[in-house]
Amino acid sequence: MSSVSRGLDRISVTFDEPTLVADAGLIVVATLMVRLGLEHLVNQTVRLVGRVGGARPGRKVLTLVTAILAGGTHIDHADRLRAGATGRVLPFRVMAPSTLGTFLRAFTFGHVRQLDAVIAEAIHRAWRFGAGPDEKPMTIDLDSTICEVHGKQKQGAAYGYTKVLGYHPILATRASTGEVLHARLRKGSSQRGTKRFCQELVARIRRCGASGPLTLRADAGFFSWDLIKTLNRLGVAWSITVHLNKGVHQAICAIEEGDWVDITYPDGGVAQVAETAYITGGGTTKRAPRRVRLIVRRSRLTAPAQQALWPNWRHHAFITNLEDRVVDVDRFHREHATIELAIRDLKEGAGLEHCPSGHFSANAAWLDCAVLAHNLLRWTAHLGEIHPEAQLTVARTVRTRVLGLPGRLVNRSGQLVLRLPERWPWESTFTKALRRIRSLPLIA
């Protein structure tokens, strides 16, 4: 046995220090919660009057949100906030997991919509502090994901097109920041509700103060003429992937070989883009004719071993009403993939990694808590200047550098002092973020 090992064996371990703070960096996000007035906002908006567990919803929602911020994926992970002096750096009383489970089961569809309204108002308030787009153009990414569950006791869970048992939430994110603008939990097999969702989304964004041009990007799962008609009526530009059906194939085959433009796209391959028109309806059909701009990207691998498996061009097509150059529109549409980063942050080591309840409405409320935690992290990063504005926020990085900071809360001559580790690599990042967020005014 080495001397190092013998030295470690001599260290005894006890759990008896009441002044330690497990995640001292939560004080930064907690300060933003106070500036946004979140506890009072939840108490005013979520009215669970007469329902078991419905009293004081503000502290319960914020307990769930903060547990998710700290990396909690289950309700009982809220006990982490009750360790040592962690609760003393939070602006609310931390609730027990059993109380939180009862609270979530008290939700109905209407109460979930009330919690959804809390998220909308929180976005409005954060954007008033300077986190919003104001009159600048804003791009919205629309997508859905599968929240896998196990067992037969999950209400509303079903097998969808992925053949995975779970729920199928729809999400809309702000491309430049990754914050979730709107979210709705759906049954596992559901593909419906997109049109209504987008109507609510655009109305919410406008109420929150985004007055500039809007553009929506989506994949082929959201393509429908009803959605396009709705977006046109709302004055929203769009770029939507389409399935390679017979009509699209015919349009692609009609493209002249000289119309293809080389682009830099795959490693070890070549790629080109071209544009044409996609025309449907008219003729012998009873449908009115439609003509939209169709952008097609084709790619092919050039390595000999791979070319033997995929010798032909592979095509990807989308329709749009954007009028920029075909190469620029294609590059813009490909950036839709950034929504996967936001979905990953929601699911990996965070709220949507697990749907904790057998009740559908309880899981819908849990989704809203996960979204609020997700957005608070991004608003903290933006308002606290934790990283450059052009860089997308990654939750794991913020947790490592700021939130997961261990500390000790001590009383020094009547003044509470949060003592943090010496030589912390991101000390300046932490102090700057806390100083900037403390400088924000309280919401009246």
Phi, psi at residue 415, to the nearest 5°? -110, 120
Region 146-164: what's the mean pLDDT? 87
Q: How far apart are CA 366 and CA 382, in angstroms?
A: 24
C-alpha span between 27 and 277 (Å, rounded)? 55
pLDDT over 80 at 264, yes or no: yes
> Which whole-number Å values give the CA distances from 37 to 28, 90, 173, 179, in the listed order?
15, 13, 23, 19
| The predicted structure's pLDDT at residue 443 | 83
Enumerate helices (H) and strands (E) in the chain, giving the number of each: 15, 15
pLDDT of the residue at 119:
98
Whether the pTM exceeds 0.75: the reply is yes
Please report the pLDDT score of residue 385 as a whole number: 92
d(CA 393, CA 174): 12
Least confident of 63-72, 131-140, 286-295, 362-371: 286-295
Structure tokens at 410: 């001590």
Q: Is-contact 215 237, C-beta < 8 A?
A: yes
Secondary structure E strands in 289-350: 290-301, 314-320
Average of per-residue pLDDT values in the chain: 91
Residue with tokens 């391959």: 269
pLDDT for residue 198: 96
- Which pLDDT score is estimated for 106? 96
Query: pLDDT confidence of 354, banded at 50, 70, 90?
Result: confident
With a pLDDT cut of 90, the percent of the chain lying above it is 77
Reduced to 3 states (helix: H, G, I; strand: E, B; else coil), residue 57 is helix
Sign of CA dihedral 316, 231, 115, 37: positive
pLDDT band per the 50, 70, 90 thresholds, residue 287: confident
Q: How confident is the model at residue 432 (pLDDT cuts 50, 70, 90)?
A: very high
- For residues 367-393, average pLDDT: 91
**pLDDT for 84-114, tens place per residue?**
999 999 999 999 999 999 999 999 999 999 9
pLDDT-based confidence at residue 308 (cuts at 50, 70, 90): low
The CA distance from 264 to 184, in Å, is: 36
Gap between the Cα atoms of 166 and 149, Å rounded? 5
Of 267, 275, 288, 357, whose CA–CA distance to 318 is shortest?
Answer: 275
Q: Are strands 237-241 and 261-263 parallel, antiparallel or unpaired?
A: unpaired
Instruction: Identify the band that residue 136 occupies on the pLDDT scale cut at 50, 70 and 90.
Output: very high
Classify each residue of 286-295 as buried b or exposed e, where b means 16 or more C-beta atoms within 10 Å of its C-beta. Answer: eeeeeebbbb
What pLDDT, in 10s, does the model give residues 41-54?
999 999 998 899 99
Over residues 76-82, mean pLDDT = 95
Q: What is the pLDDT, as a whole number, of residue 335?
A: 94
Confidence check: pLDDT of 143 > 70: yes
Q: What are the beta bridge partners of residue 291?
A: 279
Helix, strand, or coil here: 442? coil
What values do phi and psi take at 341, rounded to 5?
Answer: -65, -40
- Residue 16: exposure state from Cβ atoms within 10 A (0-12, 13-18, ≥19): exposed
User: Residue 36: pLDDT band by 50, 70, 90 thresholds?
Assistant: very high
Bridge-based pairing state of the strands 165-167 and 170-174? unpaired
